[in-house]
Amino acid sequence: MSGAGEGSATASPASVAAGSSGNTVSLAYTAGSTPFVNGTLVLTIPAGWTAPQDGNPSGPGFVAVTQGNASILSVSGNQVTLSVPSLSAGGGLTLSYQDAAAPSQAVDSSFSLASDPTGSSPAALAAQPLVHVSEGTPTPQPGILVVLKALAAPNPNPRALYLDLGGEADEVTLKVYSQALLCVSKATLPAACSQGWNTVDLPASWAQGLSNGVYYLSVQASWRGRTSQAPAPVPVLILR
């Protein structure tokens, strides 16, 4: 097991949009101080991504060695095992994971690599390459400008948000986007129904750190485990 776990790796691109498809992730591995002689490298595709395969180059999840002296031994579940007959200390290998769908939720995905330069008992690298899965870019909907006045006296509940969601929602997910359409705040909160309106009590920490200004607000409702499709975000003016 000499040298097991040695080496470093990077992933490109650094980020993709949640729920996106057709992604190609390039993984560059650099050997440590121990040269590879009939060694092994194992790649683990993170949960939520397309399952890897090496049989159909035009199919989703295809994994291939694009640079270096290595070949794929097997693909099992989300693990890809590679044989590395030779690789000098500090030498490099590049793997390509193609036409892959990203998870539907924002997450930091670790494309884990394990190495054993001289055998078949690989150990995980000390640092793993990450791909950040970010909120997708929405398409804003022109319409009425909603004013959220977080401290608007004499409102008896200054942080109550009243919504017409077409039903009695159990909870709502609020996403606030900047004018550049980057998600800058997200919260899932319980909802109640009062006089035909769904009400959400916004915690004091909601949209914390956002300055006064115009943003876009998207509201997604859930009824007894069913989740509605999130509508296009509408302009919102946040006054604190």
Q: Are residues 121 and 154 in the same domain?
A: no
Q: 161 with 126, same domain?
A: no
**What is the pLDDT, as a whole number, of residue 237?**
62
Could you count the other beta carbons within 10 Å of the beta carbon of residue 217?
20
Place of tokens 């930091």: 108
Residue predicted with more confidence, 152 or 102: 102
Question: Where do we find the tokens 């993984």?
Answer: 27
Q: How many domains does the chain have?
A: 2
Are residue 195 and residue 125 in the same domain, yes or no? Answer: no
Q: Tell me, what's the pLDDT at 154? A: 41
CA atoms within 13 A on the CB side of 103: 15
pTM score, whole prediction: 0.62
Residues 94 and 45 placed together within one structural domain of the fold: yes
CA distance 231 to 114: 42
CATH at residue 39: 2.60.40.1530
Considering only 7-11, 33-37, 165-169, 225-229, which range has the smallest mean pLDDT?
225-229
Tell me which residue range forms the domain holding 211.
146-239
* 234 domain-assigned: yes
pLDDT digits (tens, 9 = 90+) for 144-199: 444 444 433 344 455 566 666 666 777 888 888 888 777 888 888 887 776 667 77
Please tell me the predicted confidence (pLDDT) of residue 29. Answer: 98
In a domain, 3, yes or no: no
In a domain, 70, yes or no: yes
Percent of the chain exceeding pLDDT 70 equals 75
Looking at the fold, whether 88 and 130 belong to one and the same domain comes out as yes
Beta bridge partner(s), residue 238: 148, 213
Q: DSSP state, 223?
A: E
Separation in Å, CA 144 to CA 151, 232, 235, 237:
21, 13, 7, 11
Distances 147 to 162, 175, 183, 204, 213 between C-alpha atoms, Å: 11, 15, 19, 17, 10
Confidence bin at 62 (pLDDT 50/70/90) = very high
Q: Does some domain include residue 199?
A: yes
Q: Evaluate whether residue 139 is within a structural domain.
A: no
- Confirm whether 107 is domain-assigned: yes
Write down which residue in 109, 134, 159 finishes a domain.
134
Question: How far is the CA of 33 from the CAs of 7, 68, 120, 124, 230, in angstroms?
Answer: 8, 17, 18, 16, 51
Residue percentage of the chain with pLDDT more than 90: 50
